[in-house]
Amino acid sequence: MSTDVVRSSAARDNERAEPARNPPAEPAAPASATASAPPDLNDPNLYLNRELSQLQFNIRVLDQALDESKPILERLKFLLIFSSNLDEFFEIRVAGLKSQIAFDHEIVGSDGVSPRKALAEISEITHKQIERQYAILNDRILPELARNGIRIVRRNEWSHKQKLWVRRYFRNEVAPLVTPIGLDPTHPFPLLVNKSLNFIVQLEGTDAFGRDSGLAIVPAPRVLPRLIRLPDEVSEGGENFVLLSSIIHAHAEELFPGMSVRGCYQFRLTRNADLTIDPEDVEDLARALRGELYSRRFGDAVRLEVADNCPAELTDYLLRQFGLAAAEMYEVNGPVNLARLFGLINKTDRPELQYPTFTPSIPKALKKAEDLFQVIGRQDVLLLHPYESFAPVVDLLHQAAKDPSVLAIKQTLYRSGANSEIVDALVDAARAGKEVTVVIELRARFDEESNLSLASRLQQAGAMVIYGVVGVKTHAKLMLIQRREGEELVRYAHLGTGNYHTGNARLYTDYSLLTSDQALCEDVHKLFSQLTGMGKLLQMKKLLHAPFTLKKTLLELIARETAHAAAGKPAQIIFKINAVTDAKMIRALYKASMAGVKIDLIVRGMCCLRPGVPGVSHNIRVRSIVGRFLEHSRVYCFANNGEEQFYLASADLMERNLDRRVETGFPIEGKKLQARLKKELEMYLCDNASAWLLQPDGRYVRTKPAASQPARNVQVQLLEKLCGSGANEA
């Protein structure tokens, strides 16, 4: 497909797209777009705010819950993913902004938006979206589930039999674990765990000790499920569930015998969950991290969620206890901990209400191969997960663990999961006497505890475990196997855009490269040497690596396209990435656009670049794909005057990736693999069913096909192409 066809299709989609809901206020036109002088590329109007852009991605996720072409349980998933995304957004991003203000160290980025202004806009947008989320749940999702025989039964809907069963459940399973806390001078307001479910209870009467404070807090037991399935004998048809919050609410008076419960209202507190360890100030990072993980549960308060029928005097009381302003409180018409409803999907056996299952394919070259080393020795193998199986990567490691000719294995682990086949294979290899070296990034956010456990397990098996470089997270995805073949020591490598996590490989789109390319494998060996040892920077032949050469080379490649366009030569850049926030990279792309380079950015999440600004970014198009799979792969494509260059990478165009992490970018060579990558990028650019286009004012509009056009959903097309399935999905 020609580039012109791709771009004209995108332009037509842009014209037909419908506005996204709740767009941000339209900004003033950039001064640089109207001035006769050369544009000032530092003009704040040319940049979008990072936090607000991330929030817009979460809104695009929520919008999937309204898509009636999707199965109802998948729509529920999107609604719940919005909740879990928003939790992390408040725990990390909002908490970070509040910390800047608290410590009088406000940082204003390229967009010129102060932390105070960003927090105000976040609050305004999020309040609207939370209200919309619960309206979607109550008015769309739950009624549709009920029509399909799946019900969350409210307290006022319980039948007599259900009330009796729930009472028994409360007395046998819940009450023995509940610790109600009456508030008085000897029982001050308790320290509540981050994101835990709690109730504030209004009481009337005097207890056995003469206390009559009138208030109590009831923390819900964290060991109990939030969603309980009713047995068939009391369900009265279909699959019926009750919420733990409803059970506690219905039996609150039993927790306060002899007292009268005037009101019982659920609430949840979100806290700052970012870790504050300074690696340079600790002697043992693993030990310090174990201690810090506990404190994450009790960080500073950043958000209060409360039932919308809670009286004002109680919400005011809670806000005072947590030191929060009214704008940081969110009243909700339903459970305060929506992410817990994932249990409904897990407890429901209704495959017809979910996406059709598919079997990831295995490339022909690997399908019947008994010796993976032999296949990879002949040719590079490129895999696109989840459409193509992650199993060859795991199988290669298992084969290496058992192969007597394999002498050493080196691996990076950022996120791999608690029960990891990758770690199993590394343990087997270490126990078999091979030299196993694993670079584990302990500070992978929210996976620290899992990674500490994996590190201990590997060390006990005899592997050498390294925690990377002080102050620089190791985010690269690398595996190196060294094998004795005759008189030679031959290297094999796996390089990827995603983590060594078999579960994520079924949900995230990522590329894997299996190679025995001598120069590339030598570069991987050098990088491991830099990570585990000490020494000056080693020169690489093919591998780009942050924080040293990746950003510098990408800027040089963008500048080369800029020079080609200025010289009247064809010039094009296509990037597929998760985020664009680095101001230096954005300015380079603006300069390329001004010179005439045609630039297409496929950016899943945050994008601080403002496309379509006349005279500056008029040659830049930005689209976001939101669908069944989380778009996670990073691809960098440069036209290079007819000799296209492709890099896959572990890094996005973010300051943290390019300046403060160990990341890799690796070339894809050979016309066949390059043609495949280009074709797949073109499929993303032609998507008119799941793509959202970023507008100059920061809004996203969703594409939809014209009446004469077929719907093109890139994820469905890739399922059909690589798995032979998915044709019936929207």
In 272-389, DSSP assigns E strands to: 301-307, 329-332, 381-385
Backbone dihedral angles phi then psi of residue 23, each to the nearest 5 degrees: -70, 155
Is 132 known to sit in a ligand binding site?
no
Q: Judging by DSSP bridges, how do beta strands 260-271 and 301-307 pair with one another?
A: antiparallel
Is 355 known to sit in a ligand binding site?
no
**What letters, b where the CB count within 10 A reaches 16 and e where it falls short, cover 240-273?**
bbbbbbbbbbbbbeebbeebebebbbbbbbbbbb
Residue 624 pairs in a beta bridge with 692
Task: Copy the structure tokens of residue 437.
Answer: 């070296």
Is 508 known to sit in a ligand binding site?
yes
In 107-169, DSSP assigns E strands to: 150-152
The C-alpha angle 452, 457, 461, rounded to 5 degrees, equals 145
Type of residue at 152: I
Q: Judging by DSSP bridges, how do beta strands 329-332 and 301-307 pair with one another?
A: parallel
The crossing angle, in degrees rounded to 10, of helices 72-88 and 50-63 is 160
Cβ 202 vs Cβ 214: under 8 Å: yes
Full strand arrangement of the beta sheet holding 227-229 = 150-152, 239-243, 227-229
Is 240 known to sit in a ligand binding site?
no
Residues known to be catalytic: 475
Torsion sign, CA atoms 671, 672, 677, 679:
positive
Is 467 known to sit in a ligand binding site?
no
Is 445 known to sit in a ligand binding site?
yes
Residue 184 pairs in a beta bridge with 187
Cβ 667 vs Cβ 542: under 8 Å: yes
Full strand arrangement of the beta sheet holding 181-182 = 181-182, 215-219, 197-204, 260-271, 301-307, 329-332
Contacts of 23 (CB under 8 A, 6+ apart): 697, 698, 699, 700
Q: Is 305 helix (H, G, I), strand (E, B) or coil?
A: strand
Find, among 22, 132, 136, 154, the residue nearest to 70 by Cα: 136
Alpha carbons 320 and 288: distance in angstroms, whole number: 32
Cβ 255 vs Cβ 218: under 8 Å: yes
Contacts of 27 (CB under 8 A, 6+ apart): 45, 697, 698
Binding annotation for Mg(2+): 415, 445
Binding annotation for ATP: 85, 508, 604, 632
Binding annotation: 85, 415, 445, 508, 604, 632
